[in-house]
Amino acid sequence: GLRLGYVEQLYTFGDRGRHAEAGDTGAHMVSIGYLALTRAVDGELAANAASFAPWYRFFPWEDRREEPPAIIARDIIPALTEWAAEETPETIRALPRKDRVRFYFGLDGAAWDEERVLDRYELLYEAGLVEEARRDGRPAALARKTLPPLGTSMQFDHRRILATAIARLRAKLKYRPVVFELLPPEFTLTELQHTVEAISGRHLHKQNFRRLVEMEALVEPTGVMSTQTGGRPAALYRFRRDVLQERPAPGLRVRSRR
């Protein structure tokens, strides 16, 4: 019952056991996930018994808009470091555990890649650090007396599906103007920046961001000032749709200040 903007097929999820209960040996349960963006107003949400939930409730380690989340250094890295030290020749994949921890969580000089949402979640699942791993009977999780509070768990493999969607949207932000599906027809540059930051999980330097927006020519001024900012009036802008015909991959290739 919600009006959708951008929609695409996300992925087909069909791992054995993704909907299974203990001891189940039935056929695979396959689901096809879609990524859809919407700007539902309160009336629409109430009419459809729907509500929005912040995705950082489920992935608190992904929100780096202020500082790197304390949960990474406090809970995640010590547990992953201990788990990686237990690796045996039988468990080695293409990349050893220590390298995956370093690459995916940006340690020891490795850069934090905001698009590796799924890689980070699956590493935590493999190490038995999320509730879904215990629920699925994974030995690494069952061997732990307690699990660290690493976000809110979801039904079945839905947190893995959500991780896939976040990664896809963060990547698409850089070469498609999908961010404007989440904004009203007219908006301030501050509102645009906050929306990009909310998606990417990164803090952006204000002046650098505005230079990037100007360089990419994605918006145009409306000639109207907003007085709803709580401070000085701010200029209102709108998405410049001509950019879709001017170049094949218009997006915001944002970079973090850190």
Q: What is the DSSP string of 124-172?
A: HHHTT-SHHHHHTT-HHHHT-SS----S---STTHHHHHHHHHHHHHHH
Domain ranges of the chain: 1-52, 173-246
The pLDDT of residue 136: 86
pLDDT digits (tens, 9 = 90+) for 84-142: 999 888 777 788 999 999 999 999 999 999 999 999 999 999 999 999 999 888 899 99
pLDDT digits (tens, 9 = 90+) for 7-29: 999 999 988 667 656 666 677 78
The pLDDT of residue 163: 98
Q: How far apart are CA 135 and CA 155, in angstroms?
A: 10
Q: Which residues lie closer than 8 Å to 143 by C-beta, 6 or more apart?
A: 128
Enter the tokens of residue 152. 């809110």
pLDDT digits (tens, 9 = 90+) for 45-93: 777 777 889 999 999 999 999 999 999 999 999 999 999 999 888 777 7
Does the pLDDT at position 221 exceed 90? Answer: yes
DSSP 187: B
Angle between helices 117-126 and 97-105 (to 10 degrees): 140
Q: What is the DSSP string of 35-91?
A: EE-----HHHHHHTT-----GGGT-GGG-BSSS--HHIIIIIHHHHHHHHHT--GGG
pLDDT digits (tens, 9 = 90+) for 27-42: 778 899 999 998 877 6
The pLDDT of residue 257: 47
Classify domain 173-246 at the CATH class level. mainly alpha
The pLDDT of residue 190: 95
pLDDT band with cut points at 50, 70 and 90 for residue 183? very high
pLDDT digits (tens, 9 = 90+) for 202-215: 999 999 999 999 99
Nearest to 136 by CA among 14, 15, 18: 18
22-26, 245-249, 253-257: range with highest mean pLDDT: 245-249
Does the pLDDT at position 256 exceed 60? Answer: no
